[in-house]
Amino acid sequence: MLSEKLYQMLHDGYETNEMGYRGRSFVEENFMIEKNCEMLQNTLPKVKFKILGDGPYRRCFQHLNNIEYIGWVDRSDTPILLSDVNILLFFRKDLGIGEIEALSMGKIIIAPNIGTIPSVIKHGENGFLVAPDVESFVNMIEKTINLDMYTLERISKNARKTASHAFSWKIVGEKWRSVIEYILESKNK
């Protein structure tokens, strides 16, 4: 969980033309990144993408003008590198540490409405859920960047609240303790 002090230092309002992606670029994610960037380059040329991560397909989207490709970064550098990004895209079907970190940073997440993602991301409350196709992502990006500042700030605060209520070390520790106690009790029966 990002500390409140660091969060305040890095979170200074919204400039919604900065989007981000953090993760490895595999076939399915690469396709989504490349196609989203290509479509947005034509429809919303001011939208810029910052990509943190590496993978075998990065060369496929490096030629696009609207991408700032950072490459692999240490996890501890992520908050600073994404401080100017307010909207993060995720393309996987399962919730991972990247999504949880984004929530803790108060980032607005746009993710597919599949797998375990909808168990945490609530559409319009702490992020946005879309069908897992390029057109749905692009449409939601267009809608999101046109939202008023009050709505963006509300969603950002809810994202941070979700992370602190569901994924703080205290909460995670309590869940692990419950699992261990359950296992020990079931072995003693």
Instruction: Give the pLDDT confidence of 97-144 residue by residue, as tens digits.
Output: 888 888 988 999 999 999 999 999 999 999 999 998 888 988 898 899
Mean pLDDT of 59-75: 75
Paired tokens of 17: 């033309």
Q: Which CATH architecture has domain 4-188?
A: 3-Layer(aba) Sandwich (3.40)
pLDDT value of position 24: 61
Higher pLDDT, residue 3 or 78: 78
Selection from 124, 80, 184 nearest residue 22 by Cα? 80
Instruction: pLDDT band for 56, please (50, 70, 90 cuts).
Output: low
Q: Give yes or no for residue 27 having a pLDDT over 60.
A: no
* Closest residue by Cα to residue 26 from 105, 121, 96: 96
- Both tokens assigned to 74: 């240490």
- pLDDT reported for residue 33: 65
The domains of the chain are located at 4-188
